[in-house]
Amino acid sequence: MSVVAKYNKLSAVYDLMESPMESFFYSKWRKEALSGLRGMVLEVGVGTGKNLKYYSEECSVIGIDNSEGMLEKAREKAEGLKNVTLLLMDAEHLEFPDNSFDYVITTFVLCSIPDPIKALKEMHRVLKPDGEMINLEHMRSNNPLIAAYEDFINPISALTGINVNRRTVENIGKAGFKIKDVKNLAFKDVFRKIRSKP
């Protein structure tokens, strides 16, 4: 089953599945990372739209996802938000001109894109030269014990479309970004906030 098909099936219960992590961690991280932004914002992998309420009215937000099921949930959350546009689109083939956005955002997305480096290169292309990418992601730890556990469970996790052992910071660098800051958020360095420039 493709990643798109998996997320279409999960869309009805996705928010419920993530509610414990959302309550304890994610909502706080989303608010901190997104509240102060302004200008043209591209959110890649908008999912069910959990980030949308955190963007200020000074942002013009385009949210893309390749799952129509997830977008249906995001459209419900976007009702009444005049600064949000939601589009069905593949992160590996962004349908925007070069240098279009002030910010590119991903939150817990780079674990599930089939070719994350290809998608990140597309994000690099559409980001303005003075723009910034902000990523909230989980990834392979630098702690040997945690990393060994992630490697062990990844074959099972990957069946649901989620890879828990991706080297996301390295992938961002391989896509041409200059990393400005990496902040460890939880479970030592499994969850991190990454800020980078094109």
66 has pLDDT over 90:
yes
- Overall average pLDDT of the 31-42 stretch: 96
**CB distance 178 to 124 below 8 Å:** no
In tens, the pLDDT along 131-184 reads 999 999 999 999 999 999 999 999 999 998 899 999 999 999 999 999 999 999
pLDDT surpasses 90 at 9: no
Q: Domain range for residue 91?
A: 3-197
Please give the residue that has the higher pLDDT: either 14 or 156.
156
What confidence score (pLDDT) does residue 52 get? 98
The full length of the chain comes to 198
How many folded domains does the chain comprise? 1
3-class secondary structure, 47: coil
CATH number at residue 109: 3.40.50.150
Q: How far apart are CA 138 and CA 135, in angstroms?
A: 10
pLDDT over threshold 90, residue 21: no
pLDDT reported for residue 57: 94
